[in-house]
Structure 1
Amino acid sequence: MTTALPELWTDWCSVAGVPEKRVDEATLSLFSRQASPSRAVLARLRRLIAPEHAVAPAWPRTHRDDPESLRRLVRCTTVMVQDPSTHWVLRLRLRRMLFAAVLIAPPSHGGLGLDRARALALRPDGMRRLRPRIGVADEPRSCPACAVWSWLDVIGTNNGWSHGAVRALGHRRDEEGWEHRHLLPDASPDWLLCVGMLPAVDRWGWVDIYSSMHPSSLSTVISATDLMLKCGPTPVPAPAPEPRPIGPRREISREEEEKILARADELTVRVTEILREYG
């Protein structure tokens, strides 16, 4: 390791009894909590783990070679978002998780390939510039661009309206249909006035309007992303091939329904436990 290390890091290592060359995510998380370093210092240290030329260094390694992983994550998480039993605060956090996933996923998957530091430092002007690069999918429930639209609706509403409006939005599920949300005008353009694009969401559903979440919290969100992807595809009822104005909807068998609800319940419990640890 020939790159000069930040002085704050070397001082902390001396006090904490940690070898200076031990630059990994677990140690950086501890360093973050105890020394409160600036984002510039953290970014400099993380470049020692994942150089700037690395593609999507924050995306879970085991899924970097799966070009469908981001769309699969969106589809899997959408099942939980659409579940009426999902608590509204968890629904907000799931939307934030998908937004974070789009920021860090490889461009070949439909994401932006940002590292942790750049994702946390992203501001509205940067989001507006990068937004056209975000991938789309054939169906809205798997579409990364639609997932981004939904989260911008949340932070825009939080910035320009009341907590009650955010709560109402948290209770709202996506309308089922054939039109992609990202093709519609932004529902809450006040997101352009936000400070942080990845704010903390506390247990009562308050969304921080002044800053982005802590780096260790983003690591927790990425862990939840990895868990969702490891659980594999979630069974969902296949939609009809085209909308029909008249006629019965496709019926779901009892066995199919039980599989859907069992998987949704399992994912909800496991992801809730992860996201509950941090805002």
Structure 2
Amino acid sequence: MTDPVLPDLWLDWCAVTGTPVDRRDEATLGRFVLQAAPSRKLLNTLRLAPLATAPAWPPALRGDATALSQLVHGGTSRINDPDVHWITRLRLRRLVFAAVLLAPANQGGLGLSRIQARGLTPGRLQSLRPVIGRTADEASCPACAVWSWLDVIGTNNDWSQDALRALGHHRDPAGGEVHRHERDDPSHGWLDWPDHPNLLPAIDQWGYLDRYGSLHPSSLSSLVHAIETLADARIAPARPASVEPVSAPPRITAEEEAAILARADELNARVARILKEYS
């Protein structure tokens, strides 16, 4: 089934005015007509389009307003795991970025369809960035996740695999004075992320990013499946710290802890397998 696609003029106007893309009452459409002068055909498309936004977002995640921020937090936790391979870390950054593109506006995402996400240009993303969600916790912040992926894209534009590998090994420490998205955009020389031809590239088995072609539609669908899997992993708590306070009372039995960690390992393996298979 083909995803419903909202007109780009409407999406741009919503981004500039801060209007939710699913707010299409007559008063809002009246302002849109006065400010953007859409065609009658485009206006009819908006009136007839289903109000349900984010057509590619997994249905199981639609009812939870915190689903995207929790998913970003889960992705950040895995990115910061020192045992994660650098290529998997790059794929996780792309996965979280894709989640921000696809998630509904009420969760802090852009609510794009698969077609719009694959065809997203740097210029259009720049105009949409002000409406991307922010959270107090940097590790959960969708805008910070976008910033980190743009760092990857800008590095890839320099054609330096060594630099990209170094960035793949980099993690996103939180707790600084300002969030990543509040800093200047990452800059890597005379070619930066706004000059990159595509924003959702394939990543091959050696960690190379395709500069000119976006992900195949089936690969993007697999990323959506990986988003569901990563969201499912939220039920598995992080591994306990290696050093516990002596006075801390035991909260779970050894058998329960083993079962929880086994579940976490299983889910982590599933995410890594999906990312590797559909790079």
Cα deviation, residue 274, structure 1? 1.1
1:219 pairs with 2:213: no
1:188, 1:219 → 2: CA distance? 31
Of the three residues 146, 149, 167, the one matched with 1:148 is 146
> Which segment is superposed worse, 188-197 or 120-129?
188-197
In the other structure, the counterpart of 1:188 is 187
- Alpha-carbon RMSD across the aligned residues, in angstroms, is 3.0
Structure 1's unaligned 5+ residue stretches are: 1-22, 26-46, 239-248
**Is the 8 Å Cα contact of residues 236 and 260 (structure 1) preserved in structure 2?**
no
Structure 2: 5+ residue runs without aligned partners?
4-44
Equivalent position of 2:82 in the other structure: 84
> Which deviations, in whole Å up to 9, do the C-alpha atoms of 1:115-154 show, x marking residues without a partner?
0000000000001000111001111110000000000000
Partner of 2:21: none
Whether contact under 8 Å (2:100, 2:108) holds in the other structure is yes
| Secondary structure of 2:204's aligned partner | coil
Q: Helix, strand or coil for the counterpart of 1:209?
A: strand
Report the secondary structure of 1:200's partner residue: strand
How many residue pairs match? The answer is 225
TM-score by length of 2: 0.73
Structure 1: which amino acid aligns with 2:107? Answer: H
Map of 1:9 onto structure 2: none
Normalising by structure 1, report the TM-score: 0.73
SS across alignment from 1:211: strand
Distance 2:67 2:75 in 1: 12
Residue 11 of structure 1: aligned partner: none
For residues 267 and 187 of structure 2, the distance between their equivalents in structure 1, rounded to whole angstroms, comes to: 29
CA distance in 1 between partners of 2:230 and 2:261 (Å): 16
After superposition, the Cα gap between the structure-2 partners of 1:24 and 1:195, relative to the gap in structure 1 and judged at 3 Å, is closer
| Residues in 2 aligned to 1:92 and 1:277: alpha-carbon distance in whole angstroms | 14
Q: Distance in 1 between matches of 2:100 and 2:268?
A: 20
Residue 62 (structure 1) shift? 1.1
1:58 and 1:104 in contact (8 A); partners too: yes
Secondary structure at 1:228's aligned position in 2? Answer: helix
The offset of 1:161, in angstroms, is: 4.3
CA distance in structure 2 between the aligned counterparts of 1:145 and 1:233, rounded to whole angstroms? 24
Aligned-pair identity (%)? 50
8 Å CA contact 1:79–1:264 kept in 2: the answer is no
**How far 1:211 moved relative to its partner?**
1.8
* CA spacing shift, 1:153–1:165, aligned 2, 3 Å: same
Q: 5 Å matches for 1:116-265?
A: 116-178=114-176, 179-188=178-187, 190-236=192-238, 265=265
Q: CA deviation at 1:177?
A: 1.9
Are residues 1:59 and 2:57 paired?
A: yes
